[in-house]
Amino acid sequence: MDKKLNIFWFRRDLRLHDNHGLFRALSEDLPLLPIFIFDKNILDKLEEPEDARVEFIHNEIKDLKNKLEKSGSSLIVRYGRPEKIFEELVEEYDIAGIFSNYDHEPYGRERDKKIGELAEGKGIEFRSFRDHIIFDPSGVLKDDGDPYTVFTPYKNKWLKLFKRKMLKEHPSEEKTGNLLKISSMPFPGLEEMGFKPAGIEIPPGEFPENIIKNYDKNRDIPGIRGTTRLGIHLRFGTISIRNLMGKALDLNKTFAEELIWREFFMMIMWHFPVIENRSFKKKYENIPWRNNEKEFRSWCEGKTGYPIVDAGMRELNQTGFMHNRVRMITASFLTKHLLIDWRWGEAYFGKKLLDYELSSNNGGWQWAAGSGCDAAPYFRIFNPESQTKKFDPEHQYISKWVPEAGSEHYSPEIVNHREARERALSTFKSALK
């Protein structure tokens, strides 16, 4: 194609509405060609062909493509490695600029660096914009310029710096007239990429205002629908963080605080990328984990003999979701009761969670293990029985996921709570001297 054009690269921003980078790209004089890449570097690491996240992305991309075609344009959808695909695209089209939204995770940063270098070598401008967070990772720092490593002062500074105008929408859907006019483009099927439908129901990307209003009262009760279930939509950008944060600040400050936690963990991962594979607190690398594989399998399968733990793991395995309170209980059980390395649990959650986000998953697991920034101290060991009495006293949650609990058909406890607690305290205390 001889005519100069710009490209917008969809990644974790799968929507036409209030999409910052897309808005900026559509505001340029040149026609815009949208693209999406099913990235083999990411997909090749997935172990199960029935991965509900890939199916979700596939469905969202199909929907996006249909919407674009109603505007007389389409969406180029490729399957492969981004560098190779961009090498092909610069041969096929006369590209002036590549637009995208930031991806702050370590892989995304490295990928974008390579594409930026490729673009620069061809005289093409590569531009990225903030879209899936309110503040950049370096937007909320201590007065001396250092990153915060404790949440509360970070939150207080975040709220101090925050201005309501930061939530202003970018009306990208109003500028679709600037899209390149092309006919429908090919679309790879799930099976072509080695995947199959997972059969897992994805919660809708709607803002449940009543749940947000009562979030502070109901968020810790796993037996009821007390949380929004919007994690997967935030992860892949099918909803706008600006829109959601606005509702949170209006309806429930506790829910808004959870969204700020998300940004805190992203900020930590940005400034300390080594924590992707290592404890934030270096001395926690000295913990002599037991890493018993049989016990790990029992935990994964929800057969530990502790009903609240098993309920959480079965919910995760069957639905791709686990209630946040139960995430803390199951993570504490694995790292403290079983003395299994938090990285094992983090990787398992990474395979199963629909809303898996590296920084939040890593932050949550290191919090539970005591190894992270602003983490629970090593001597905080959740008692599954007392957690059950407090948050699932009528066994609504347990009855749903572990109906055989209390019967002769239920798994025996794989470890005694009191003995496991003493062992954990002794092990951590000795290793952290």
Q: Where in the chain is the domain with CATH 3.40.50.620?
A: 1-130
Catalytic, 289? Answer yes
First to last CA, the chain: 66
CB 12 within 8 A of CB 42: no
| pTM, full prediction | 0.96
pLDDT at 1: 57
φ, ψ of residue 35 in degrees (nearest 5): -135, 160
Which superfamily does 1-130 belong to?
Answer: HUPs (3.40.50.620)
| 4-10/94-101 β-pairing | parallel
Among residues 342, 344, 367, 401, which one is catalytic? 342
Catalytic, 258? Answer yes
Q: Which token pair is 211? A: 């749940």
Catalytic, 156? Answer no
pLDDT at 433: 84
Distance of CA 62 to the CA centre of its chain: 21
Among residues 50, 173, 258, 276, which one is catalytic? 258
Say which DSSP state 269 is in: H
In CATH terms, the fold of domain 132-167+208-271 is: 1.25.40
Q: How confident is the model at residue 2 (pLDDT cuts 50, 70, 90)?
A: low
pLDDT tens profile 335-353:
999 999 999 999 999 999 9
Say which DSSP state 136 is in: -
Q: How confident is the model at residue 298 (pLDDT cuts 50, 70, 90)?
A: very high
Among residues 83, 289, 292, 317, which one is catalytic? 289
Cβ contacts of 194-200, under 8 Å, gap ≥ 24: 194/43, 194/49, 195/43, 195/49, 195/50, 195/51, 195/54, 195/55, 195/58, 196/49, 196/50, 197/50, 197/55, 198/50, 198/51, 198/52, 198/55, 198/320, 199/50, 200/52, 200/55, 200/319, 200/320, 200/354
Q: Where in the chain is the domain with CATH 1.10.579.10?
A: 275-431
pLDDT tens profile 62-105:
999 999 999 999 999 999 999 999 999 999 999 999 999 999 99
Q: What is the mean pLDDT of residues 313-319?
A: 98
pLDDT at 375: 81
In the predicted model, what is the mean pLDDT of the chain? 96
Among residues 19, 60, 158, 261, which one is catalytic? 261
Tell me how far apart the alpha carbons of residues 317 and 313 are, in angstroms, rounded to a whole number: 6
CB 73 within 8 A of CB 176: yes
Beta bridge partner(s), residue 230: none
In CATH terms, the fold of domain 275-431 is: DNA Cyclobutane Dipyrimidine Photolyase, subunit A; domain 3 (1.10.579)
Asked if the model's pLDDT at residue 295 lies above 60, the reply is: yes
Among residues 41, 178, 292, 324, which one is catalytic? 324
Catalytic, 299? Answer no
Among residues 9, 365, 367, 401, which one is catalytic? 365
CB 6 within 8 A of CB 21: no
CB-side neighbour CA atoms (13 Å) of 125: 10
